[in-house]
Amino acid sequence: MMRRTIPLFITAFVGSILVIAYFIPHPPFDQLREDFSIFFDIIAAVAFILGGGNLIRMHGNRVSRREKGYGYSLVTVIGFALVLVIGLTKMGNPDGFRNSSVTAAGSYFDLAYQYVFRPCAATMFALLAFYVASASFRAFRAKNVEASILLLVAFIILVGRTFVGAWLTAWLPPSLDFLTIPYLADKIMTVLNFAGNRAIMIGIALGIVSTSLKVIIGIDRSYLGSG
């Protein structure tokens, strides 16, 4: 019983203090909020260590068992170990180990980030463009009124971001600039899209508030585990 009661009490106490400190930023709540933030950083650091260990365990098991696709796991483990060693030892840092940052320009860690991680990330995002295009082709079929509107808006935005949009409506007089495709694309992104994005963010915020209240009160106990 105590194994479940104590975590519930700690969660309710810390959550309540953080809420009060946000609306009453005066002693002693402001100092408690800062202390809890430091504790959170410590817990996050421990979580990173556990995450790294779990990554090595999972991919190491795949490599040792020679499972299908274990070569990718081997590359993952080797890359993780190399970057970890380079970062901890600050290899290649121009000012030595004590007087330089791990991300100093010219260090091996910075070179790995600039010439390995960033090109790989750019490649992944470039490949995602083809998946987005194929998904859009299936989703934007004008089967009904809503799909037709979605197709029209997508066409305006895609064409309006290229020179083709300006070329197609270049014949319009200056008094009808509001009908050009680039203008329409800009208004859709800055007005309609911004309004929809704000509505989504408000909904997310309300969801976070309701979930937090359920956790603080003790209604939601999923963080205690299935046992």
| pLDDT at residue 204 in the model | 95
**Coil, helix or strand at residue 27:** coil
Length of the chain: 227
Q: 10 Å Cβ neighbour count for 5?
A: 10
Name the residue with higher pLDDT: 71 or 149: 71
Residue 95 has pLDDT above 80, yes or no: no
Provide the whole-model pTM. 0.58
Residue 183 has pLDDT above 70, yes or no: yes
| pLDDT at residue 198 in the model | 94
Which H or E run includes 7?
A: helix 2-23
Q: What is the mean pLDDT of residues 56-82?
A: 90
Residues 122-159 pLDDT 10s: 999 888 878 877 777 776 676 778 778 888 888 888 88
Listed residue (34, 5, 3, 38) closest to 17, CA to CA: 34
In whole angstroms, give the CA distance from residue 46 to residue 83.
18
| pLDDT at residue 227 in the model | 54
Confidence of residue 218 (pLDDT cuts 50, 70, 90): confident
| pLDDT at residue 78 in the model | 92
Q: What is the mean pLDDT of residues 206-218?
A: 89
The residue type at 214: K
* Residues 62, 73 contacting (CB under 8 angstroms): yes
| Angle of the 29-64 helix axis to the 70-89 helix axis, nearest 10 | 140
Q: What is the mean pLDDT of residues 177-206?
A: 91
| pLDDT at residue 123 in the model | 92
* Residues 142, 148 contacting (CB under 8 angstroms): yes
Map out the domains of the chain as residue ranges.
Answer: 140-220
In whole angstroms, give the CA distance from residue 80 to residue 111.
15
Which H or E run includes 129?
A: helix 118-139
| pLDDT at residue 1 in the model | 62
